[in-house]
Amino acid sequence: MVFENLLQLYHLFNLFLGTAGGELLKAGVEFFVLLIVAYMITSEWTRTKAKELFYLIISFSFLALQKLIIIVVFAHVSFLGYNYDALAQWIFPISNFFEILGMLLIGNSFTSRLFRKKAFENVVKLQTYVLIGIFFILFFFWYSAVFPPGEVLIRKHLFFFVFQMLKIFSFTLPIILILNYTRKIDKYFGNAIIAFLIYMVNPVIHIVNYIFYDSRNASLLVLSHPWPFIAILLFTRVIYLKLVDKATLRKQVKTAKEKLAHEKELGRLKDSFISVVSHELKTPITSIKLYLDLLLKKTLGPLNNQQKKLMERVKRESMRLSHIIDDHLTVSRIQDKKLKLNITKYDLSDLAKDISYKKIANQEGIRLQFDIPSNFTVKIDPQRFKQVFINLLTNALKFTKKKGKITVRARKNAHHFTFTVKDNGVGIPKNDIPKLFDKFYQVESHMTRSAGGSGLGLAIVKGIVELHNGTIDVKSQLGKGSEFIVKIPQ
Ligand code: ADP
């Protein structure tokens, strides 16, 4: 009983929608919805200036304009007693023109992100010109003596059929494009396709009515009413969701940016803290080393063997501490761009003359080989480049087992010289390589732990090489060894 009543109510409502008052109500609601949507998109467009949104604004404005025309017509019919047919025959082609143009542009704006900007704009222009051309011809025949207005009812007219076909075409095109050019139909495209299909129900019903019932079937007419309105609500929903998505995304980007800025600031504070502490430690450690030297040189009296041994150990540890402090200071000077190079000519083969490294290598049972041609003169800051050499070589010594081999090699061509330190030691896991030159980064392994170190050596090497406008690369295989390749332009 309730169901039957509801059904009857629905039917009556649909019938009402077919009357002048119903049409007025429908067009009025549609007009306001379209205006709200156009306003929403415009406020987003002023921020992003996206082409897609621009087309949506125009298309929704055209649709709103069409609804406004309909409102004017039905207001005249409802309130001023005008004859609908007489009015509609004048207004009908124009209102259809705006509707079809609006639909064509909606379709285009939904497919715009499938194509390159320039090609897309050309297609839109072409479609618009063709449509305007078709309508000029239609207008001409419609308003000319060939089909004198007032003679035939609009719905029986052939032109009515043409308009409906154009409507169907303007929405089938974007559906075909979306289905053809997207690999995965996402929520946005899915909803758009549904809205296109629903909008098409109205022209399809009209065409069926035209072909089979000479446009006289009243039930079909009643049935055709609600669809464009539902479709417009769906379009509104799609666009609303899209705008909300965009707003959420914007918010997320903003939060991420703020977080990054905050982290950067924290990093900067940490760096400056380390730099200040290192500076403060520099003076006492220098004094400690000085007094230790005085004691070890027996200036203040003789030392027994045990005292001497302990003193030497203290000296070794204070040297280590001093190196760590120096490394921190170098890193912060590189970061603050305060490290200046003193470029001169330097014979790189001189590096091989420092035999202390060979001694250390010998003690560790490692073969250290220098392959640097004699008179290998290059333009570098010798003091800083030695730091590169020492850091790479100490790493190679630390991470190469007994009976291993380390080769220090240099070659040059017209543009640059290459300096490599190669070992056949433990190697570096592939995942660690990209982070190797970061400050404090150390590969997680028992070898690194037992070797000690602060994780600053390679950061310093990279900083100095880059100050020379050079590059540094690593080739390494776990268990087979590593090769650090420095290239410096000349
Ligand atoms: P540190 O040697 O003070 O730990 P580095 O910045 O010089 O810091 O090196 C970072 C990490 O890179 C080292 O802890 C080590 O794990 C890895 N590494 C550097 N050179 C080699 C090498 N020749 N062979 C194997 N691992 C290396």
Tokens 């007489």 appear where?
86
187's tokens:
């929520």
Protein residue closest via CA to atom 14 of ligand 1: 442
Tell me, what's the pLDDT at 258? 95
Instruction: Please give the Cα distance from 272 to 294 (Å, whole number).
Output: 34
Protein residue closest via CA to atom 16 of ligand 1: 443
Which numbered atom of ligand 1 lies nearest the CA of 447? 16
Give the SS3 label for residue 156: helix
Best residue among 395, 435, 454 to mutate for probing ligand 1, ranked by most atoms within 8 Å of CB: 395
CA–chain centroid gap for 460, Å, is 32
Which numbered atom of ligand 1 lies nearest the CA of 452? 4
Q: What is the pLDDT of residues 442-455, one digit of tens each?
A: 887 756 656 667 78
Tell me, what's the pLDDT at 448? 61
Protein residue closest via CA to atom 13 of ligand 1: 442
Protein residue closest via CA to atom 8 of ligand 1: 455
Tokens 């003679």 appear where?
151
Tell how far the Cα of 264 is from the centroid of ligand 1, in angstroms: 25
> Who lines ligand 1 at CB under 6 A?
391, 395-396, 399, 423, 425-426, 428, 436, 441-443, 448, 453-459, 482
Give the SS3 label for residue 131: helix
What is the helix (H) or strand (E) element at residue 90, kind and residue range?
A: helix 84-111
CA distances from 418 to 343, 368, 396, 470, 472 (A): 17, 18, 18, 10, 10
Tell me, what's the pLDDT at 417? 96
Q: What is the pLDDT of residues 12-46, one digit of tens each?
A: 887 787 788 888 998 899 899 889 888 988 988 89
Q: What is the pLDDT of residues 380-392, one digit of tens each?
A: 999 999 999 999 9
What is the average pLDDT across 338-360?
Answer: 91
Instruction: Please give the Cα distance from 365 to 402 (Å, whole number).
Output: 5
What is the average pLDDT across 128-146?
Answer: 80
Tell me, what's the pLDDT at 279? 86
Protein residue closest via CA to atom 11 of ligand 1: 442
Best residue among 327, 424, 458 to mutate for probing ligand 1, ranked by most atoms within 8 Å of CB: 458
Tell me, what's the pLDDT at 429? 92
Provide DSSP, 401-426: -TT-EEEEEEEE-SSEEEEEEEE-SS
pLDDT at 145 over 60: no
Tell me, what's the pLDDT at 451? 63
User: Which domains are seen in the chain, by residue range?
Assistant: 2-224 (1.20.1070), 344-489 (3.30.565.10)
Reduce the secondary structure of 176-225 to three states and give it as a string.
HHHHHHCCCCCHHHHHHHHHHHHHHHHHHHHHHHHHHHCCCCHHHHHHHC
What is the average pLDDT across 414-441?
Answer: 92
CB 223 within 8 A of CB 14: yes
Q: How many residues does the chain have?
A: 490
Tell how far the Cα of 47 is from the centroid of ligand 1, in angstroms: 49
Tell how far the Cα of 326 is from the centroid of ligand 1, in angstroms: 18
Best residue among 334, 442, 461, 472 to mutate for probing ligand 1, ranked by most atoms within 8 Å of CB: 442
- Total-model pTM: 0.56
